[in-house]
Amino acid sequence: MRVRISAWLVLLALITFTARAQTAPSSASHKQIHRLAPSQAVALTPPMGWNSWNFFEGRVTDQDVRNAADQMVATGMKDAGYEYINIDDTWEGERDANGVLHSNEKFPDMKALADYVHAKGLKLGIYSSPGPKTCAGYAASLDHEVQDAQLYASWGVDYLKYDLCSFIPAVMEKQAPGDRAEQMRLMIAAYKKMDAALKATGRPIVYSLCQYGWDAVWEWGPSVGANLWRTTGDIQANWNSIYAILNAQAGLGKYAGPGHWNDPDMLEVGNGKLTLAEDRTHFSMWAMLAAPLLAGNDLPNMKPEVKAILTNREVIAIDQDRLCREATRAYSEGEVDVWTRHLAGGALAVALVNAGSARYSTHPFHLDLARLGLHGPLEARNLWTGETMTLADGMPLEIGSHDILLVRIAAPK
């Protein structure tokens, strides 16, 4: 979602994000986070689905959402684990005399739409903001949290994306100009208020915070009932955006676990001018990060090669692995980053990302197994080719520009 906030606030958010990520306390643990916010039995693994914004933005309609649900089933994405069909901004109409929010002419009957999605064996998501307006300027939930939560539940909504947006100038800057501590208190209180309203409905609803990683949300997100929280600004369908977001995730793994996930934003696979190599790397690394896998492409017109990426079950299995351990960056050398993720049953996933431009793509990379705490030779499965390969210490590996070698080692030693 495009965020309309002041430039100084964006800069402050980025500074805070970087500083807090680098100084995150090592004592944090999954167990401590569970004590803060017991799971609501939703999002026990990272949510998978589709969101309307990356492709449709404000053009999305009821029919587009129905088409996405149809294609989720027809393409095999549902069978691969995708579940949520999420409507982003611009569905909202006006409130009536009783304060009840109605959808606009693009969405004539939200209950009927939810029923249609549910009949496909899928779930419906919706979007709002704790401020008076959404990012696109439509009616949001300030002072109507309980009313809106009850409305969503009555429609059959299963997922809420709650985007900070207008809450910043309307409440935080207005009520606490220049007072960062008080601004943060107001923000946390607003997210807690909607969490309480959602829980009061009695309906299991995934609660997704969208506030761009501001004030180290990974440290306090579970305490406001969040099941996932955005860790950075908005993703764009280009390599620089994807790679910058990937790098910003280093050090955040300790905050992820069942029912609460770091969210590096929705997938851009199949969008813009991304190459297939970039799509593979993007999807692979979001899986390594135990990130929500929310496709954002045009499902009815999806190319076969894009579908093959989004439905690669071995890569999805990494994302959904029951150990729930997010990947960590082991080391970087030249243009190549090496990430590892521990998996259930003692297996290990290893990802080698070539971030270099085309002129560097033919340089062989020599894998240093000792820096991963391993010694070879090791039998590994390439999750994109399906081939079995032997990893030996120092072996030369050719990885194309912006491409990835993603392997699963069943018995690391």
pLDDT of residue 358: 62
Which tens digits make up the pLDDT trace of 242-288? 999 999 999 999 999 999 999 999 999 999 999 999 999 999 999 99
pLDDT of residue 41: 84
Active site residue 163: yes
The catalytic residue among 70, 234, 368, 393 is 234
Which tens digits make up the pLDDT trace of 125-144? 999 999 999 999 999 999 99
Which tens digits make up the pLDDT trace of 309-345? 999 999 999 999 999 999 999 999 999 999 999 999 9
pLDDT of residue 40: 56
The catalytic residue among 88, 89, 158, 163 is 163
- Mean of all residue pLDDT scores within the chain: 91
User: What's the 3-state SS for 190-217?
Assistant: HHHHHHHHHHHCCCCCEEEEECCCCCCH
Residue 349 to residue 334: CA distance in whole angstroms: 21
Active site residue 195: no
> How many other β-carbons are positioned within 10 Å of the β-carbon of residue 111?
12
In this prediction, residue 56 has a pLDDT band, given cuts at 50, 70 and 90, of very high
**Closest to 80 in 3D by CA, of 264, 273, 283:** 283
Share of the chain above pLDDT 70, in %: 89
Lowest mean per-residue pLDDT among 90-99, 146-155, 250-259, 352-361: 352-361
pLDDT of residue 21: 38
The domains found in the chain, sorted by start residue, are 7-319 (3.20.20.70), 328-409 (2.60.40.1180)
Which tens digits make up the pLDDT trace of 96-122? 999 999 999 999 999 999 999 999 999
Q: Is the pLDDT of residue 30 over 80?
A: no
Under 8 Å between Cβ of 354 and 363: no
